[in-house]
Each structure stands twice: as structure tokens, then as C-alpha cells.
Amino acid sequence: MPKEIISIKNLNVSYLLGNNKIKALDNINFRLFENEILGIIGESGSGKTTLARYLLGTLDTAGSEILIEEYLLNNKRIDLFPTKINELRGSFISMIMQNPVSSLNLTMKIHNQFRLVLKDVLNIKQKELQDNLIEVVIKEVSLDNHKDILNKYPLELSDGMNQRINVALSLISNPRVLVMDEPTASIDKENKIRILKVVDKIVHKKNISVVFITHDILLAKKICNRILIMKDNKIVDEICKVNESLSSEYTKLLYKSSLLEVKKNGDAVFSQKIIELNMISKNFGDNLVVGDFNMYVKTGETVGLVGESGVGKTTICKMIMGIYKPSSGVIKTREKLKIEMVFQNANLSLNHNQKIFKILNEENYINNKNEFSREFISSFFVDFNLPIDILDKYITELSDGQKQIISIIRSLLSSPDVIILDEPTSSLDTITQNKILELLLKIKLKYNLTYILISHDDRVIQYMCNRYIEI
């Protein structure tokens, strides 16, 4: 029987908003054993992050009501957690956040960030000793030429590197438990694999237990020993191995949604080229972003653009849209071709201070035309199963999926021929992702659209695209 490291009995957390109580965690019971990776899976808003923050004792006690029967950390009872857990935080339990850059101090060189931890948590002040410890831990997370990296600032490194530095930062104090809150969500595929390898390595080598929070069931399946499924702030299922014969309905749904079935729609023949890019290059100052790029798009097809972050996918699309002008090369488009773009992050692409009806009508305001009638807009809402009363709400009142749908509807309203989709689903959880991808295919047929799809997710590319271009 493995040793128990964390045990939580009957945890209830509600956030207090004015006079309202909003339930964030409902009767949570779980145990974490030594040397295991425990996955916690759920859609966004299911309470994963609240649980992680409770474990670390960083929940805002003034703004929330916490009821718990028992919280054992390494068989020590923790009562009023903000006071007692302070001593354990860092040295016993440590956390890695979702956004690698914002969890580092941007104004400090990397080695200084390590020194700060060593000085404050471990009370080691000799410089040579610090250097040795840093070197060891940097090697552990497989960062080569560490001398270079240590002398840089976080913004000079890639997201993946920053995340590995975060892992190293929490490892340097030798914690027994590592809580990782979606550590790979904002990172491209190759770096993701590297980080997962690092996690796997440290668990076995350094005898650490990991609580791995994610919304990606396939990822969890790969690396976790045990998985808890959360829905509506409750733990609904606990499984040891993900396979087809799963116990709960919701788990089945989650698993199914992660495996998009690739539909082969035959080898459809597309004839007419509508967009052609010829030896396009673009540089910002001395920085060459896109070099000699060729591409064509034919009517009715879906073309994927694949590549790691930072290779210039979005720049190419912005050149097609006409936001940037290419430094050299020609972009040919068919005459009177209407191109629309759906941006990556719906939170940034829709104005928070305007009602949705006005957002959808923006193009008319620009061109001094009459507003679209509510009936006209609602005919699109039917396609997406959205209630029509959303029109009088603000963007902040919607869920992430709904926001992205609004952004898609906005591009549909002007009856375009081509829609450029810039990672339309990357910030969503798998179930919502699938819904949106299905809807996109449906409306493609209905309105005779052509898509250019940017993504770093193979699953999405294979599901959606007729062909793809790797950059």
C-alpha cells in the first residue's frame, strides 16, 4: 500500500459575491499517494483551479466560504490553512501555473529568480552553493546550454522554455507534491512533449507526487496513473485507466469528444483557384517573419496552416486580409472576393463594452448602412443553437464557447466567400471544441464557404482540412 500524502474529506467552497453564494467546490473527497501522477479533468468552470488553489492555501478566505472536515498533508492535520500551510508551501507543496510567462518576474534575470527562491525558502546564501544547485536542477528539466539561459530575461525565452524553468523553480526546493494547473495549455506540441517527459522523469527520479490538472483527457491518459473527472464542481468519476468501457456517461462523452472521427469526404476535386500567394515574404525591421511562401486556395476546400507558434501563420493570414502588406511577392485574389477572419481569442476580438447586437452590426455602422434586422440575425442563431435574447447582453455574460460562436456569426453576416479561422478552438475545452468544429463544417456546406484554418492541433487539422501546409 503506497503512502498517503494528501487526503481531503468533504471539502466545500463557495465564493461570496455580494449577497450571493456561488458554489465552487461541492463535497470533494480525494487522496493523493506517494509517487503517483493524479490527473484532474474537467471542462472550464468545473472547479479545477479552485481545488488547486485550495491545496496550496492561496484561496482568498475573505471572498469565499470554506467548509472542510479534514485536510491531511503528509499525515499532518491542517486546520486554518492560511497560517499553517505557509511553512509547507514551497518546501513541501509547490505549484506550476497555466501561463508560464506571467508566473515569472519579467524584470529579473532567470538566475536571480532561482536565487530568490534559494534565499527565501531554503535559506542558502553562499553563491557557489546556489550555482551548483541551480545547475543540477536546470539539467533535470533538460535545458541545454544553461549558462546562456540563466543570463536571460523570461521574455527572451520561448513559452516552452519558460514553463520548464517554472518546473525547475519549483523543483529546486525539493517539494514532495507538485500541483500543475494546465501546464501545457498555452504551449505548442513539441514543447508539450518535452515538458511531459520532464514531469515523467522527475516523478520517478525524485519521488514526487504530481496533481496534474488539465482539460485534455488524452493527455491525462498518457501520463496519469489515476484520473478524477470533475463536472459541475463535483468529482463525478475516478478511473485508473481510460478505455472504451468507462463507468460514467460523462466520462464516456469526454473521451469520445477527444477522439474526433476523421470523415473522409472522398477525394473531392476543387477547380477554381481563388487566392494565390506567390513568393511572399514579410519582415518587420530586420526580423524576417515569412520567407518566400507559396500557397493557393481553391473554392470550397479547407486548407490548414500548421506550424509551431511564432512561424508566421497569423502574419500570412493578416497579409491575405490586407492588414499587413507583404515586403515582396504578390497576392492574387479573385475579383470581389469577400474574406472574413475569426480571431484566436474571442475575449480580445469582441468589444466588452458594447452589446452583442451592436457588435454584430459594426460593419453597418462603419459603412453607414441600416442595421441588420433581428430576424436576419436570429436565422444565424438557429444554426448555432443560441438563444436570441443574447443579443441584448454583453460579451462578459457569455461562456467562452458562446463568445467564439458570436465571433463566427459576425464573420458570416456579411456573406463572405472565404473565412480565415485563426486557431478558433485553441482556448476552449474539448467538448465545446467539438461542437464548434461540427458547426463549422455544417455551415460550410450550407453557405458554400472556403476555409483557411490555422491550428497547431493535429486533431483539428485532420478533422477539418482537405489538405494542409506545414510551415
Partner 1 sequence: MKINFLKKIFIFTAALILLLVLFLCFYPVKYYDIISNPNLSPSIKYIFGTDYLGRDLFIRTCYAVLNTLFVACFSVFCSLFIGVVYGTYAGYKGGRFEKKMVMFLNILESIPSFLLIILFLVLLNNFFTEKGNILGVLMAVIAVSWIYMSRIIINETKKIMNSDYINYAVIKNASFWHILKFHLLPNLKSIIIITIIQKIPQIIFIESFLSFVGIGIQPPFPSLGKMVSDGLKFFRIYPHELFVPVISIILIVFLFNIVGEIIIKNTKEYA
Which positions touch partner 1 (CB under 8 A)?
318, 321-323, 341, 343-345, 348-354, 358-359, 362-363, 365-367, 410
Cβ-based burial of 290 (10 A; exposed 0-12, middle 13-18, buried ≥19)? buried
Q: How far is the CB of 330 from partner 1 (least distance, A)?
A: 20
Q: How far apart, in Å, do the first and last CA atoms of the chain sit?
A: 50
Q: Which is nearer to partner 1, 214 or 349 (CB)?
A: 349
Least spacing, CB of residue 323 vs partner 1, in Å: 6
User: For residue 331, how many other CB atoms are within 10 A of its CB?
Assistant: 16
User: Which lies closer to partner 1 via its Cβ, residue 150 or residue 418?
Assistant: 418
Task: Give the residue among 400, 439, 440, 46 at the shortest CA–CA distance from 250.
Answer: 46
Nearer to partner 1, 69 or 371 (CB): 371
CB of 359 to partner 1, least distance (A): 8
CA 196 → CA 21, 182, 400, distances in Å?
Answer: 37, 12, 27
Q: Which amino acid is at 120?
A: D
User: Residue 151 Cβ, how far from partner 1 at the closest point, in Å?
Assistant: 29
| Alpha helical stretches, state H, 249-345 | 249-258, 313-321
Cell numbers 486554518: residue: 80
Rounded-to-integer distance, Cα 289 and Cα 315, Å = 8
Which C-beta is closer to partner 1: that of 262 or that of 348? 348
- Residue 408's contacts (CB-CB under 8 Å, 6 or more residues apart) are 342, 384, 419, 424, 436, 439, 440, 443
Report in angstroms how near the CB of residue 410 gets to partner 1 at its nearest: 8
C-beta of 132 vs 351, nearer to partner 1: 351
Distance CA 106, CA 99 (A): 13
Smallest gap from residue 144 Cβ to partner 1 (A): 34
Helix and strand totals (H; E) in the chain = 17, 19
Residue 358 CB, nearest distance to partner 1 (Å)?
A: 8
Give whichever of 99 and 466 is closer to partner 1, judged by the CB atom: 99
Give 240 or 366: the residue with its C-beta nearer to partner 1. 366
Q: Report which of 454, 397, 386 is spatially closest to residue 426, judged by C-alpha positions.
A: 454
Q: Distance between CA atoms of 219 and 207, rounded to whole angstroms? A: 21
CB nearer to partner 1: pick between 324 and 447: 324
In terms of Cβ atoms closer than 10 Å to its own Cβ (0-12, 13-18, 19+), residue 294 is exposed
- Comparing CB distances to partner 1, the nearer of 41 and 406 is 406
Q: Which of 346/465 has CB closer to partner 1?
A: 346
The bridge status of strand 209-214 relative to strand 177-181 is parallel
Question: Cβ 426 to partner 1, closest distance in Å?
Answer: 14
Strands 450-455 and 467-470 come out as unpaired
**Given the complex with partner 1, which of 76 and 352 has the nearer CB atom?**
352
For the bound state, the minimum distance from the C-beta of residue 345 to partner 1, rounded and expressed in Å, comes to 7
Least distance from C-beta 128 to partner 1, angstroms? 44
Shortest distance (Å) from residue 99 CB to partner 1: 17
Q: How far apart are CA 267 and CA 458, in angstroms?
A: 20
268/323 with CB nearer partner 1: 323
**Going edge to edge, which strands form the sheet with 177-181?**
93-96, 177-181, 209-214, 37-42, 226-231, 234-239
CA distance 170 to 168: 5
8 Å CB contact between 417 and 274: yes
Phi and psi of 18, rounded to 5°? 65, -120
Residue 241 is classified by DSSP as S
CB–CB of 307/471 below 8 Å? yes
Type of residue found at 11: L
Spatial contact of 55 and 38, defined as CB atoms under 8 Å apart: no
